[in-house]
Amino acid sequence: MLLALLLVMGAGYFLMSDLMEGTLWKHEPWDSYTLQTWNWLHGRMYIAEPERYEYLELAIYQGKYYLSFPPLPSVVLIPFVLLFGMDTPSNLLIALYGLTSAGVAYVIMLRQGRRPYAAAFWALVCVWGSNMFWMTTNGGVWFQAQALNMVLCLWAVLWALEGKKSLATTFLALAVGCRPLSAVFLPVFALLFAWNERDEHGSFLKSCLAQWRCVIGPLLIGACYMAYNYVRFDNPLEFGHDYLPEFVRAEHGQFHWSYLWPNIKQMVFTPVLLVGGRLSFPLFQGFMFFVANPMFLIWAIRFAADVRDNGISAVGVGVAVGAAAMLLLTCMHRTLGGWQFGARYTCDALPFLYLYLAARGPKRVFPWELALGGLAVAFNAYGALYMFFHG
């Protein structure tokens, strides 16, 4: 079944590419991760000849230009740049990220007792029934970060469910090098591990202290990120976004509480309308996040049913609090993802909702979930094509 899933998705990416004028085989001009890797391999932390790349989002610090995004996708690109130079197959690479995410998502459900068809359904909904469908058709810098983040977070979920705690937190720490807000779930995972082992250690406090091995990987990886940031910006916590011109000019900078309510209104209450027999929705700052990413609806319904039938669980509270914190911090950001279909930043929380669905959800797939999942895949396939031809 896994092979069938990957063949179907691979064929889907090929057919989408065919409609998109063969983009699957091309280098994406917005792939500034390749540009950064190229400069690394030539001994530079900064971007040489920035005047050639005025269309890219580059940070400016002390007269030099830098990529403003966390660095891990550039590390992954090193062998590709060595092989292809600046002409890396970035659109193909991001489709492979999509296939890898689906493969890991399938294994998660299978190992949690789902039948193969159910595991394939959930994997498909996680990747193609979300904004990740559109993002994995374009190897731009923003989408590479989010797609690789999903791969790593799903791996972290797999290891967490299998009790491989240090691997889980290490993969989460790697994900921070793609999307910094993934760090929200590092303490969530550690507290869940401690709660599950509280009887073994005699108390919750002793169980928390016993999780020290889970911290080693994140500390080492975090130290690498901080050293990299310090070399570039003299600040161990600065990846570079604060030095983007748009945030330098902003009165309140990159994050501020004053952005919270306007962004919540945009992300929660901006609908998709039917106007003159055609769909109408904003392409800037997104629309209702649960329309393009209905796994949030599936999770909410399942969570409510679980609380009703079984009471509040530790994993339920952990996932709910972590996802809420991630979304609230997202809404405190000056932008919600800019040009996009749906609300792409909210995809960062999907692996953790998936953790809950795998750990606590019933084994069967209900008809309403099949219908909602099918609609989600169809809507996001439409979105991918719409963004290519009209975005």
CB-CB contact of 56 with 32 (8 Å): yes
Which residues touch 228 (CB under 8 Å, ≥6 apart)?
71
Q: In whole angstroms, what separates CA 274 from the centre of its chain?
A: 29
Does residue 337 come out as left (phi exceeding 0), alpha (psi in the -120 to 50 range) or beta?
left
pLDDT tens-place values along the chain, 391 residues long: 899 999 999 999 999 999 998 889 899 999 999 999 999 999 999 999 888 888 888 999 999 999 999 999 999 999 999 999 999 999 999 999 999 999 999 999 999 999 999 999 999 999 999 999 999 999 999 999 999 999 999 999 999 999 999 999 999 999 999 999 999 999 999 999 988 888 888 888 888 888 889 999 999 999 999 999 999 999 998 988 889 888 888 788 888 999 999 999 999 999 999 998 899 999 999 999 999 999 999 999 999 999 998 888 889 999 999 999 999 999 999 889 889 999 999 999 999 999 999 998 788 899 999 999 999 999 999 999 999 998 6
The length of the chain is 391
**Strand, coil or helix: what is 179?**
coil
Instruction: Give residue 383's pLDDT.
Output: 96
Place of tokens 């007792």: 113
From residue 106, alpha-carbon distances to 5, 119, 302, 318, 329 in Å are 9, 5, 19, 23, 29
E runs forming strands in the chain: 58-61, 64-67, 273-275, 278-280
Which residues touch 347 (CB under 8 Å, ≥6 apart)?
130, 131, 132, 135, 146, 150, 293
Instruction: Give residue 162's pLDDT.
Output: 94
**Helical residues (DSSP H) of the chain, grouped into ranges:** 2-19, 32-41, 72-76, 78-84, 90-111, 116-128, 132-135, 141-161, 165-176, 185-196, 198-201, 204-209, 213-233, 245-249, 260-269, 289-292, 295-310, 314-331, 350-360, 367-390
Place of tokens 């807000």: 181
Instruction: Give residue 42's pLDDT.
Output: 95
| Token pair in block for residue 228 | 């990299």
pTM, to two decimals: 0.95
Which residues touch 226 (CB under 8 Å, ≥6 apart)?
236, 237
| Token pair in block for residue 351 | 């692996």
Report the alpha-carbon distance of residue 364 to residue 353 in Å, rounded.
17
Instruction: Give residue 275's pLDDT.
Output: 92
Domain locations along the chain: 2-385
280 phi and psi, to 5 degrees?
-130, 125
Place of tokens 């292809």: 84
Report the alpha-carbon distance of residue 332 to residue 254 in Å, rounded.
8
Report the alpha-carbon distance of residue 41 to residue 101 in Å, rounded.
28
361-390 pLDDT tens trace = 788 899 999 999 999 999 999 999 999 998
Instruction: Give residue 197's pLDDT.
Output: 87
Report the alpha-carbon distance of residue 74 to residue 50 in Å, rounded.
18
